[in-house]
């Protein structure tokens, strides 16, 4: 049982919950909580080790047994120590340190999402979760977008990270990866999405919450598209706007079948 804050496994887990450069240097990230560890295990994601407390519930202990049965390194840690590194107010008593193992983009690509300077972790996590639900095949994150594997994004994504290719790329790399697609930028001055043909292979660009689309995103886009809003509001947040547009793509493609 781990009883020291200086334990290497505990120290690594704590560092991975911090800055992106720590995750990049270690080639690893943390999934905290029963739901995320369950999703990682279900997806067959490579697990370095798991940490759990004695107060873990029945569902969580079932996961611990599954991890051990598969030959994973799992250790018990005191409640106080796990709470001391937890990103949540009250730890669920379970976390896993996972290897980065990027999923391959399917080919040919026909539905992608580009996150342009999305800095709010909740919005990015919501976009990832919604993208998975809408059948998006890959997510491209601009260099200015927050780290997709930060703890708050992981929680908001609710397991989408384990089933959806997520790539942080330069704008030139994004251009090359989407060269076979029509690029639509969400913009208040664009054409109404209901009147725009979104059934062809495409990528949607969703801009940042505060300043909207960057110049790089505008240069990449072939067309702009908007969400008609009869109510008196300036805009929707990035997570909601992305959800509306992604499912408009789903609606059009479903009706076209």
Residue 240 — φ and ψ, nearest 5°?
A: -70, -45
Nearest by Cα to 115 from 161, 136, 146, 157: 146
* pLDDT tens profile 46-80: 999 999 999 899 999 999 999 999 999 999 999 99
Q: Cα separation of 146 and 144, whole Å?
A: 7
The region of weakest confidence among 69-78, 95-104, 132-141, 203-212 is 203-212
Domain 8-99 CATH (choose: 3.30.310.10, 3.40.640.10, 3.40.50.300, 3.30.1330.30): 3.30.1330.30
What are the beta bridge partners of residue 32?
A: 95
Residue 118 scores a pLDDT above 70: yes
Q: What is the pTM of this model?
A: 0.94
257: confidence class by pLDDT, cuts 50, 70, 90: low
Residues 6+ apart with CB under 8 A from 29: 16, 23, 97, 98, 100, 149, 154
Strands (E), the chain: 28-32, 47-52, 73-76, 94-99, 111-115, 138-141, 166-168, 182-192, 202-206, 223-226
The predicted pLDDT at position 87 comes to 79
Domain positions in the chain are 8-99, 111-255
Q: What's domain 111-255's architecture?
A: 3-Layer(aba) Sandwich (3.40)
Q: What is the chain's mean pLDDT, rounded?
A: 94
Which tops the pLDDT comparison, 87 or 134?
A: 134
Which tops the pLDDT comparison, 25 or 88?
A: 25
* pLDDT tens profile 232-255: 777 789 999 999 999 999 999 998
Q: How far apart are the first and last CA of the chain?
A: 57
- Hey, what are 126's tokens? 């919501």
Same fold across 8-99 and 111-255: no
Q: Cα separation of 52 and 92, whole Å?
A: 9
Nearest by Cα to 114 from 160, 150, 165, 54: 165
């Amino acid at each position: 049982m781990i009883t020291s804050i200086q334990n290497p496994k505990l120290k690594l887990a704590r560092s991975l919950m911090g800055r992106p450069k720590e995750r990049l240097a270690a080639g690893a990230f943390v999934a905290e909580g029963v739901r995320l560890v369950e999703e990682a295990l279900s997806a067959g994601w490579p697990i370095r080790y798991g940490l759990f407390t004695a107060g873990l519930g029945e569902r969580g202990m079932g996961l611990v047994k599954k991890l051990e049965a598969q030959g994973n390194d799992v250790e018990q840690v005191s409640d106080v120590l796990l709470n001391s590194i937890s990103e949540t107010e009250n730890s669920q008593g379970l976390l896993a340190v996972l290897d980065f193992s990027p999923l391959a983009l399917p080919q040919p690509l026909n539905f992608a999402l580009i996150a342009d300077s999305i800095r709010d972790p909740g919005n990015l996590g919501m976009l990832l979760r919604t993208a998975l639900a809408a059948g998006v095949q890959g997510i491209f994150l601009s260099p200015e977008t927050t780290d997709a594997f930060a703890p708050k994004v992981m929680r908001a994504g609710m397991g989408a990270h384990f089933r959806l290719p997520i790539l942080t790329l330069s704008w030139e790399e994004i251009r090359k990866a989407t060269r076979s697609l029509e690029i639509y930028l969400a913009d208040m001055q664009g054409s109404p999405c209901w009147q725009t043909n979104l059934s062809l292979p495409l990528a949607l660009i969703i801009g940042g919450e505060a300043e909207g689309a960057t110049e790089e995103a505008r240069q990449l886009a072939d067309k702009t598209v908007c969400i008609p809003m009869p109510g008196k509001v300036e805009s929707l947040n990035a997570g909601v706007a992305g959800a509306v547009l992604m499912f408009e793509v789903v609606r059009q493609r479903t009706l076209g079948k």
